[in-house]
Amino acid sequence: MPIFKLGRVKHPIFVDSAWSGSEVRVEPLIPSLDLIAVYGAGGHGRAVAEAAFLRWPDSEIVYIDDACLSPALDGRPVYLPEALSPGTPVALGIGDNAARERVGRWLMDRDQPLLLVAHPHASFSPSAEPGSGLFVGPNAVVHTGARLGAGAVVNSGAVVEHDARVGDFAHVAPGAVLGGGVFIDSGVLVGLGARVLPGVHVGERAVVAAGAVVTEDVEPEATVVGVPARPVGQVV
């Protein structure tokens, strides 16, 4: 028998509201959740679970993980994926892009609702467009007209400026900044403290190394490092 049961949740997709203390409605509004399953019982999953708890303090929060050896983490139970019943809202708690995409697409194929989790201290423009399964960390800023894909991560203190686009399952790491009109494609990793200057396009599954400053477009699957950023093998 499935161990997870839904309570008062009525919508198939869950998008958070109340950014930065304001009651800005982002369709659809879900004021409370009885149970939240965080898929991933590692460091990133713990951060997602904590943000979810701060957002919905009356909810029960559990972990889903097929590799965790402990039956509980931070006092919250850990279950195998087989225990997940249809309809239970799931927050993606996996930091690695490829693994998060693999799990996210598996959940989508099951029609499992993906929960958008934003830390209460994140700032999110009401004109920005968030995707399902998004995580926005503490002190992150998502500005006017930004568009964020499914399963993306905007981590602690990261900035996504006006009209920037973040692809599905991409990750903007802590302290990284995307300038206005930047487009990072699906599966891209923008490393700790990196900067991508306005209007630049970073191709699918490329990696921007920590501290790099990207001044021109990046080819798909390339890794760029340095200031200004250059593909690995071209740095002098």
Rounded to whole angstroms, how far apart are CA atoms 111 and 213? Answer: 39
Question: Which residue pairs, CB below 8 angstroms and at least 24 apart, start in 203-210?
Answer: 204/167, 205/97, 208/176, 210/173
| Residues shown for the chain | 236
11, 44, 119, 162: the active-site residue: 162
Does residue 119 have a known ligand-binding role? no
Q: Find out whether 63 and 40 touch, Cβ atoms under 8 Å.
A: yes
Amino acid at 231: P
Rounded to whole angstroms, how far apart are CA atoms 89 and 35? Answer: 7
Does residue 171 have a known ligand-binding role? yes
Rounded to whole angstroms, how far apart are CA atoms 146 and 168? Answer: 13
Question: Is 121 designated active site?
Answer: no
CA-wise closest residue to 150 among 164, 132, 137: 132
Binding site, annotated residues for substrate: 95
Question: Which residues are catalytically annotated?
Answer: 162
Binding site, annotated residues: 95, 171
Binding site, annotated residues for acetyl-CoA: 171
